[in-house]
Structure 1
Amino acid sequence: MKTILVTCAIIQIKDEVLVVQRSKSMKLPLKWEFAGGKIEYGESEIDCIKREIFEELNIKIDIIERLTPVTHQYSNFKIKLIPFVTEYHSGEIKLKEHCNFLLADKNELINLDWAEADLPILKEYLSL
């Protein structure tokens, strides 16, 4: 099974973190995740995450650091999730694919119903 390369962004806005909820029509419906998307052919990880965040959320971000990638096997697909800690730069949040977003205190994040691949990333982020 082919592994899908996906970037995701932990978006810090002041003292909170922006997370998004998958819509009912997406794979893993209503699960919470860090926003992001698939790397296109010839695209760098950083170009991908900046493009995906702008396409999905209508905002621009600045990259702070890259965390440890996570490979996760779901029942019918496999992803390698490449996380970046980022900071909000500009723009007004407008959801294009997700059904909801939340600005949460770092300590509140663990209480959400996360997509499984995002859990190791959340754990690493909370330990920083």
Structure 2
Amino acid sequence: MEVVLVTCALIFLDGKVLCAQRSDSMQLPGLWEFPGGKIEKDETPQECLVREIKEELSISIQVICPLKPNDHSYSIGKVIRLMPFVCIWQDGEINLLEHQSVEWVAKENLKSLEWAPADIPIVEDLFENWNIIQKQLVDKNTEL
């Protein structure tokens, strides 16, 4: 069984999280996800995420902490291990290089989007732990 390690960023700004809609040129077009990508050889998950967000959205992020990963199989013999990380936006303006759109989404609107199947457990985890994550972000910002 092949396990593909993939990171995703839960990028927060002003109490909302950045959600990205997959473009028509991507697999699962039109579905929503947290942006990120595959970990390359000799790359840490955090390094991957910083690189992927720069490549996909043209912005810089700071990785704060990991959340619970999720294994999902889209095809027989292959599992995607999606590794989410709480992040904050550092700088840059969003430029959509892969996705068709992005939205800053509040907790109460998270479940209204049509999510890619691998992201659904991460959405559930985020929804359940939203207040804890927000507190960590506030605490982290006071340290910065």
Same fold (TM over 0.5): yes
For 1:37 and 1:106, locate their aligned partners in 2 and report how far apart those are by CA, in whole Å.
Answer: 24
For 2:64 and 2:98, locate their aligned partners in 1 and report how far apart those are by CA, in whole Å.
Answer: 25
Unaligned runs of at least 5 residues, structure 2: 130-144
Give the aligned CA root-mean-square deviation in angstroms. 1.1
Whose radius of gyration is greater, 1 or 2? 2
For 2:62 and 2:107, locate their aligned partners in 1 and report how far apart those are by CA, in whole Å.
Answer: 19
1:109 aligns with 2:110: yes
For 2:126 and 2:93, locate their aligned partners in 1 and report how far apart those are by CA, in whole Å.
Answer: 25
Runs of 4+ in 1 over 2 A off after TM superposition: 75-78
Would you tell me which structure has more helix in proportion to its own residues?
A: 2
Secondary structure at the residue paired with 2:87?
A: strand
Over the matched positions of the two proteins, sequence identity in percent amounts to: 47
Structure with bigger RCO (C-alpha 8 Å, 6+ apart): 1
Alignment of 1:47-58 (within 5 A): 47-58=47-58
Q: TM-score, normalised by structure 2?
A: 0.85
For 2:3 and 2:24, locate their aligned partners in 1 and report how far apart those are by CA, in whole Å.
Answer: 24
1:68 aligns with 2:64: no
Q: TM-score, normalised by structure 1?
A: 0.95
Report the alpha carbon displacement of residue 114 of structure 1 after superposing the two structures with TM: 0.1
For 1:84 and 1:97, locate their aligned partners in 2 and report how far apart those are by CA, in whole Å.
Answer: 20
Report the alpha carbon displacement of residue 78 of structure 1 after superposing the two structures with TM: 2.4
When the two structures are aligned, how many residues end up with a matched partner? Answer: 128
Specify the alignment match of 2:12 in structure 1.
12
Secondary structure at the residue paired with 2:88?
A: strand
Code of the aligned partner of 1:115: A
Specify the alignment match of 1:125 in structure 2.
126
